[in-house]
Amino acid sequence: MKLSERLISPGLILFGGGVIIASAGLPQVPGVRFGADLMPSITGGALILFGGLLGWKAWSKPLTEPLVDTSEWEVSLRKRLTAIWTIGALLAATLLFQSVGFPLIGLIFMTVLMVLMGARPLTIAIVAPLFVLALHLSFTRIMHVELPAGPLGAFL
């Protein structure tokens, strides 16, 4: 789907403003000269600036193309299902992340995604579990990120 710059520019400006407002609520870090809100505020300001420049360019010329172009959506069913699975599974994973855990969510997500993309069963059986295990171990053991392990936690 292609969106016109006339739609994207106000979205960027609003998103940038939201980032700045949200970053104002971040707690101050003791002993640091600049607070935790500095980088998000700079990013929000850059989004507002970029959205303004993009909007200036888009609104200064006459409208010659549609605001929304869905001609790119004429794809195969497999590609549509892949896109739907990716978005839907990520939303579901967000809700179930704490109770189901990263390894199981990652394994289900990656397995179905590989099937939809046409991978061979042997490749799926080897790559999906090893990749998810490597991700989980690198985040939890090397980077010390506390990922929920869920029901597979006893095996990790």
Q: What are phi and psi of 68, to 5 degrees?
A: -130, 125
Residues 6+ apart with CB under 8 A from 96: 105
Question: What's the pLDDT tens digit per position in 8-28?
Answer: 999 999 999 999 999 888 777
The chain-wide mean pLDDT, for the chain, equals: 89
In this predicted structure, the answer to whether residue 51 has a pLDDT above a threshold of 70 is yes
CA distances from 89 to 81, 95, 128, 129, 138 (A): 11, 10, 16, 17, 23
Question: What's the pLDDT tens digit per position in 114-155?
Answer: 999 999 999 999 999 999 999 999 998 998 888 888 887 777
Q: CB atoms < 10 A from the CB of 25, how many? A: 8
Distance, CA of 153 to CA of 156 (rounded, Å): 5
Supply the Cα-derived Rg of the chain in whole angstroms. Answer: 21
Dihedral through CA 145, CA 89, CA 69, CA 54, nearest 10? -20
